[in-house]
A = this chain, B = another copy of it.
Amino acid sequence: MEKSFVSQIADIDGDFAQWYTDVVVKTKLVDYGPVKGTMVIRPYGYAIWENIQNEFNRRFRENGYENAYFPLLIPMSFMTKEAEHVEGFAPEVAVVTHAGGEKLAEPLCVRPTSETIIGTMFGKWVESWRDLPLRMNQWANVMRWEKTTRPFLRTSEFLWQEGHSVFATAEEAEAETLKMLAVYKEFAKTCLAMPVLTGKKTEKEKFAGAVATYGMEAMMHDGKSLQSGTSHYLGQNFSKAFDIKFTDKDGTQKYGYTMSFGVSTRLIGAIIMTHGDNRGLVLPPVVAPVQVVIVPIASKKEGVLENCRALETRLRKAGIRVIVDDSDNSPGWKFNEWEMKGVPVRIELGPRDIEAGKMTVSRRDGYEKTEYALADAETTVAALLREISESLYERAKRRMEERIVSAETLQELLDGVNGGSFVRAGWCGDRACEDKVKEFAQATSRVACKEHTACKCVACGKKAKTTLYFARAY
């Protein structure tokens, strides 16, 4: 019985891909949609997304962003106004050709991202320097037709947030690009307990239409990298294409400078593959739908269920997301189920605990059972949730740091990624050398590394311009 759940999940080190599929489906985070490449986000998964949204909404608001909603369908002609942009997105776009029983005069794209349509509206709204900076954020579904898909990581439709802003100067727009990248990094640490590497992407890896893209990359359990968020400095590329002009203080007309940034439901995949283990999910407390599960022991005994309910009420009042599992299943079955579902704290409460004024607590991050006084439950649990978040972060950070290696040759780089590491290596700046790494080691450049300086390009041996992190990536 104790093994019933665990045995349903493939071994995390034996077959990580199968482990992932088992975990996301069996914990009811997600299911496969009927159209190839689509997903249904089930309540347990969607609740994580809602917690992510709430945490971001507060941060965006503090940074001057207001939420708005822009149309799903974008005229094909808008996409083509920025040459690089259309080249990058056209191959992935889904197109509406018929509507209302008729063929449309112009085909409409289902948004793969909204720079073009938001740019059009910003062009209409921005008139004077007084209108700047202009900052907006949108929570929306977007569509990118992908050949190989996996729930959360790569699906034809996904949910995301996209922030868009306009500034009077290049300096301000560039500073905002880095500021929002920093917001992402802080969020990843505080809310997802996830350490990330942040830095500039190469020309090859940047957003189609950007002057520069900055990304945050996280190391998954198998040593592969997951791009978890990006922030783009767009210069005047979109303001010129969409006529975002303002009258400056000196009375002259100028084009604004724009930037954009986004994270998606991919973050849920990142959480799973950063913290999960052979028992299933391990959810970071800040975004866990259920932070605490109370399991009654000998629940038929007088007063047990009442005491569980009373504790639930107390914890809920303290702002903790808590449930009592009063189902007919055995305690052992419940332990397994909630461990698989990744609930950070489990409290067992039985007649003996109650008599002694105690509760028996287990942490999902692996420590032994501990007894605490029932009287201090609110402060104890709040402190435990913080501790668990910090310990998950430290553990993931240690793992990442231990698995970053340096390489001076392609063979060393290949050995590094084969061993599940991120590899720091020098790069001369030529696209050909980046392509050579991809071919030789099936690894791509993730972000620039500022902490380390390599002398020679790992591919051609010429003088290095930049040091990059290379990795296999999702």
Contact = CB atoms under 8 A, between A and B. Distances in A.
A375 to B, nearest CB: 29
A108 interface: yes
Contact of A73 (B78, B93, B157): B157
A46 interface: yes
Interface residues of A, number: 55
A194 to B, nearest CB: 22
A67 B95 contact: no
Contacts of A141: 72, 140-141
Contact of A71 (B74, B101, B157): B157
Interface of A is mostly: mixed
A313 to B, nearest CB: 16
Given A94-B99, A97-B95, A70 B33 contact: yes
Interface in A112-164: 117, 120-121, 124-125, 136, 140-141, 143, 145-147, 156-157, 159
Given A92-B100, A110-B110, A40 B68 contact: yes
B98 A40 contact: no
Nearest to A147: B100
Nearest to A105: B36
Most buried by B among A34, A121, A156: A34
Contact of A40 (B74, B92, B121): B121
A99 B95 contact: yes
A99 B89 CA distance: 11
Given A117-B34, A147-B100, A66 B95 contact: no
Interface of A: 31, 33-35, 38-43, 46-47, 49-50, 66-75, 78, 90-101, 107-108, 110, 117, 120-121, 124-125, 136, 140-141, 143, 145-147, 156-157, 159
9 contacts: A34-B117, A38-B73, A39-B71, A46-B69, A72-B141, A94-B96, A94-B100, A140-B141, A141-B141
